[in-house]
Amino acid sequence: MREQTRIIGLLAALLVIPWAWTAVPARAAEGLQPYVLAQQAPGNPGERVVEVSDALADAGFRLLGRYSPYAGASVVVATRDDLLRAASATERGAYAAVVRVGVTQGPEGVQVTYVNPAYLAQAYRLEDDLSGVSRDLAEALGQRETFGGEPMTAEELRGYHYGFGMEYFDDPYRLADHGSHAEALAAVEEGLEDSAGGAVEVYRLAIPGREQVLFGVAFKAARGAAEYAAESTQMGVVDFRPLKRTAYLPYELLVNGTEVEALHMRFRMAVHFPDLNMMGDHSFMELREAPRAMEEALLTLVGRPPAEEADPLADYDL
């Protein structure tokens, strides 16, 4: 059976090279899930966004930005000193430097959900488990349940990748390398000013003690984003279950010293949607063109023309 599973995985990689995702393995009965449902009740989504923002501020968080990725959905992004300390302690901890809260009109009322800090602390390999952040978010916003796939242990998350041939946390898109941090930052700022690749800045955050600036970027079709880079297209495929995962957004881009990078979509989306199937309706197969489209949009944003597509088998050790 194990040999049969291995062969099926190899065939999947050959047939669906842009994602090449295999079946999700069984997970431990106890562990961490990517999202927290804070509350769900009838109400006005706009008013709920204001309430969420105020509650975060009362809990000591600093609002960085909020936006609506598409109709019926909003995202509030915030940070706090303990998050910044944890983020600055590891090389790529910046990706976990913010909390993202989704406010979405769902079938049974307005949902307030957020990405589970304890989950990201492990998936993004922090030294801090962010238990204080988790506790304060639960007190400020609520915590009815966690959701988003079979629970995973800390060990599984720290070495997470979805399946055969897929990227890990430390396999980002490497977008550009400049002569200085200032030049790298200026290139990103120029691209955002021009909405290059369809990008719109949602927030920016300097990481203390490091030459790092984290940007939250929305990719909008109305600003010229390619179909499979547009967040509305991507979420229209994967965010189909009753409990919404709007807090997946926005995408992060990191100016890290002289370099500019972003988490690879085959890692970032997979770790936020670990329960999606590889094939079938609402599967990653429907977004097989998205990882390349995302890379091209990011390259355009930083001022580098996308290279011609290489041999799709080149990145796979078969």
Distance CA 305, CA 186 (A): 17
Distance CA 151, CA 55 (A): 28
* pLDDT in the model for residue 314: 38
How far is C-alpha 281 from the chain's CA centre?
22
Domain presence at residue 315 = no
Q: Look at the alpha carbons of 55, 61, 64, 70 in this order and tell me if their dihedral is positive or negative.
A: negative
Question: Which residue segment(s) compose the domain that 132 sits in?
Answer: 2-301
Q: What is the CATH number of the domain that holds 273?
A: 3.30.310.70
Give the total residue count for the chain.
318
Domain presence at residue 317 = no
Both structure tokens of 144: 């009815």
Taking alpha carbons only, the member of 57, 73, 89, 68 closest to residue 210 is 89
Domain presence at residue 159 = yes
Q: Are 248 and 144 in contact (CB under 8 A)?
A: no
Q: Look at the alpha carbons of 156, 158, 161, 166 in this order and tell me if their dihedral is positive or negative.
A: negative
Distance CA 101, CA 37 (A): 10
Condensed to tens digits (0 to 9), the pLDDT of residues 10-22 reads: 444 433 434 443 3
Residues of the chain with pLDDT under 50: 1-29, 310-318
Global pTM exceeds 0.95: no
Domain presence at residue 283 = yes
Domain presence at residue 186 = yes
Taking alpha carbons only, the member of 175, 110, 113 closest to residue 138 is 113
The total domain count for the chain is 1
Taking alpha carbons only, the member of 315, 304, 265 closest to residue 176 is 304
CB neighbours of 182 closer than 8 A, spacing ≥ 6? Answer: none
* pLDDT in the model for residue 289: 96
* pLDDT in the model for residue 12: 45
- Angle, CA 200 vertex, CA 261 and CA 234 arms, to 5°: 75
Which residue, chain included where needed, has tokens 């949607």?
273
Q: Where are the beta strands (DSSP E) in the chain?
A: 35-41, 62-70, 73-79, 99-106, 109-115, 145-147, 173-177, 199-207, 212-219, 251-256, 259-262
Domain presence at residue 113 = yes
Domain presence at residue 228 = yes
Condensed to tens digits (0 to 9), the pLDDT of residues 20-40 reads: 433 333 333 479 999 999 999
Residue type, 212: Q
Domain presence at residue 285 = yes
Taking alpha carbons only, the member of 107, 289, 88, 79 closest to residue 203 is 79
Q: Are 54 and 226 in contact (CB under 8 A)?
A: no
* Three-state secondary-structure class, residue 218: strand
Sheet harboring 173-177: ordered strands across?
A: 173-177, 259-262, 251-256, 212-219, 199-207
Q: Are 19 and 285 in contact (CB under 8 A)?
A: yes
What kind and span of H or E run contains 271? helix 265-272
